[in-house]
Amino acid sequence: MNARLAVLASGAGTNLQALLDDPVVGPRVALVVSDRADAGALERAAGAGVKSVHLDPGVHGSREGYDAALEDLLTAEGIDLVCLAGFMRILTPPIVRSFRGRILNVHPSLLPAFPGAHAPRDALAWGAKVTGVTVHVVDEEVDHGPIVLQEPVAIREDDDADSLHARIKEVEHRVYPRAVRWWLEGRLRIDGRRVHVEGSG
């Protein structure tokens, strides 16, 4: 499928880079959007020759106004699939509905444990022995939608939030492109909370 993919990112963009470097996913990345002008993700997009847009929350005001502008941009660019990769904004229900089943997110824990913006820190504070990575379909609730793929990461005695997050990211960079590839290949069938990966196992 010749799908066009947009990646939304607020930070360093290492997950964006993993998507760009994937031989199947990379060529499909048509647009990178960031809410932060200084996001490393915008530089990575430029480096890869991909159109990049800084969509400034200061200009668009309300969350609804911002997401309306975002949806207009995605529609104008003919985007089929949206990949959140460290995008530090919560999407509002209308844009989630417009792209139902077509927004994926990568989260640094085994959901539903440790949702939110500080998952590695929260896992450590809880004294968990294992955390991990979740790729899920985005729905109207935060870090909540149907799970496409998960992989555990062991927590070490000497971990701090940074060392743990670094090991989690290594896994993210391996599994997020795989999940996106499944979507592009039309292999994901969403059935309530369950996501079946066709042609696997």
CB nearer ligand GRF, residue 28 or residue 107? 107
Of 120, 141, 117, 143, the closest CA to residue 130 belongs to 120
Least CB distance from residue 113 to ligand GRF, whole Å? Answer: 14
Least CB distance from residue 191 to ligand GRF, whole Å? Answer: 25
CA–CA separation, 97 vs 182, rounded Å? 21
By the 8 A CB rule, do 52 and 42 touch?
A: yes
Binding positions for ligand GRF, 82-101, rule CB under 6 A: 85-86
Binding residue (CB under 6 A) for ligand GRF from 143, 155, 169, 180: 169
54: annotated active-site residue: no
Number of alpha helices (DSSP H) and beta strands (DSSP E) in the chain: 7, 9
| 13 contacts ligand GRF (rule: CB under 6 A) | yes
| 15 contacts ligand GRF (rule: CB under 6 A) | yes
| 104 contacts ligand GRF (rule: CB under 6 A) | no
* 2 Cβ contact partners less than 8 Å away, ≥ 6 residues apart: 28
Question: Active-site residues: which are they?
Answer: 107
